[in-house]
Amino acid sequence: MGLIFTYLFFSCLLSLSYFLILVFLIKNWESLPVFHRKKSKHHPWITVLVPARNETDHIRNCIQHILAQDYPNFDIIVIDDHSTDDTVDKVNALKDERVQVISLATRTFPKEAQSFKKLGIEIGVKAAKGTWIVMTDADCIMKKQWLSNIANAANHSDDVLIAGPVLYTQDQSLFEQWQSLDFIGMMGVTGAGIHSQSVHLCNGANLAFKKSVFEEINGYQDYHHLASGDDMLLLQKIRAIYPNRIRFLKSKHAATYTYPMRTMVSFWRQRVRWATKTTSYPEKRTTLIWALVWLFCVSIFIAPILSVWFGYWAWIVFLGQFLLKVILDYIFLSKVAHFFERPQLVSFKVYFPAIFFELSYIILVGLAGNLQKKYVWKGRKVQ
């Protein structure tokens, strides 16, 4: 009975933790105000940074979408990270004076450098003439109001960093729709966390910050040894100095759009790469929350196995925790999916199997991300 009581106690503790986390997220997403543009005559200069490595399939489309923005004052710096394809040729072929390329292949870096992306962003910020820097990825596209919404938000606040939503597009298969639903959930967590001023996440595919603040914190100093995490490490570093001047832009018009992974292998590599940085965040509250969510998912997964020893008590735990996750996740994901006009992602056909998909990958990726510190990204071995 002692072992059963201990098992039930920790299972209930994890369930309560998950319940409180989801209620917290739902409440803060709902209270996060929707952004609406205001009239403004001031249009500060914006420099858009686009880090790129072997992006021949996407770079032209990305730059053309940026050039089509309805905002008047901006330029684009493409930071070429040692591409071995014709990425640079495709950018130069556009022949637009608003676009320049900075090639990292012509620069000298320390032998121990792990993150050329961080180094490239620092070089790009230094070369930028904009008072605001907006970052996106080379495989992203956006609506023409993207920059004007970000600039308007910056004009009418004292914010120093603005995180925008990133969504998936062209998700045709069920596997791709599962990824879209998962990513929409990440946007909900990002918005709710920043709004609550307690959990600070973001995505480098849609991130704006003041150039002067980036220079004030010395960019990525102390993080050059980490290959990934250029977005959240930067946010949390800025947040340490300006805790109340960070914003998530809850706006459909301020979103950027990227593409889901087409194969399970590419999906696995992407998520493991993201997971390797979780223990490196300076904001340990974020790491603790991810750990509690991971442990809760593990608890659901192993309950049927533990029924060999704990009998029907383990099945009661499994049923209770599984229903808790299904119901709370649906409430949260439904609110975020409807806001971004993707209600089909929470249909029974997509949502119910997505629960099993999410449970499996969270557990496995969480393990792999903490055990596997070396990985290959676009032909480069990093750790």
Mean pLDDT of 241-266: 95
Residue predicted with more confidence, 290 or 78: 78
Q: Tokens for 95? A: 């022949």
Under the banding of pLDDT at 50, 70 and 90, the label for residue 113 is low
pLDDT above 80 (res 231): yes
CA 223/CA 24 separation, integer angstroms? 31
- Specify the range with the lowest mean pLDDT, choosing from 22-36, 205-219, 231-245: 231-245
pLDDT above 90 (res 210): yes
Mean pLDDT of 8-24: 96
Query: Residue 54 has what pLDDT?
Result: 95
Alpha carbon distance, N-terminus to C-terminus of the chain: 45
Query: Residue 223 has what pLDDT?
Result: 79
Query: Residue 245 has what pLDDT?
Result: 96
Query: Residue 376 has what pLDDT?
Result: 60
Query: Residue 107 has what pLDDT?
Result: 86
Mean pLDDT of 80-86: 94
- Specify the range with the lowest mean pLDDT, choosing from 55-69, 103-117, 307-321, 335-349: 103-117
Q: Which pairs count as long-range contacts for 199-202, CB under 8 Å and 24+ apart, including other chains?
A: 199/283, 199/285, 199/286, 199/289, 200/232, 200/235, 200/236, 200/239, 200/246, 200/283, 200/286, 201/163, 201/232, 201/235, 201/286, 202/163, 202/231, 202/232, 202/235, 202/248
Looking at the chain, the whole-number percentage of residues with pLDDT higher than 70 is: 95
> Most confidently modeled of 195-204, 227-236, 281-290, 332-341?
332-341
Taking only the tens place, the pLDDT of each residue in 331-351 is 999 999 999 999 999 999 999
pTM score, whole prediction: 0.92
Rounded to the nearest integer, the mean pLDDT of the chain is 92
Taking only the tens place, the pLDDT of each residue in 256-283 is 999 999 999 999 988 888 887 776 677 7
Under the banding of pLDDT at 50, 70 and 90, the label for residue 127 is very high
Under the banding of pLDDT at 50, 70 and 90, the label for residue 378 is low
pLDDT above 90 (res 115): no
pLDDT above 90 (res 29): yes
Neighbours of 274 (CB within 10 A): 15
Q: Tokens for 144? A: 């023409």
Query: Residue 116 has what pLDDT?
Result: 86
pLDDT above 80 (res 293): yes
- Specify the range with the lowest mean pLDDT, choosing from 153-157, 175-179, 285-289, 353-357: 285-289
pLDDT above 70 (res 73): yes
Phi, psi of 60 (to 5 degrees): -65, -45
- Helices and strands per DSSP (H, E), number in the chain: 12, 12
Burial of 242 (0-12, 13-18, 19+ CB in 10 A): middle
Mean pLDDT of 276-293: 82
CA 246/CA 26 separation, integer angstroms? 20
Query: Residue 85 has what pLDDT?
Result: 93
pLDDT above 80 (res 371): no
Torsion 307-313-314-320 (CA) sign: positive
Query: Residue 214 has what pLDDT?
Result: 97
pLDDT above 70 (res 254): yes
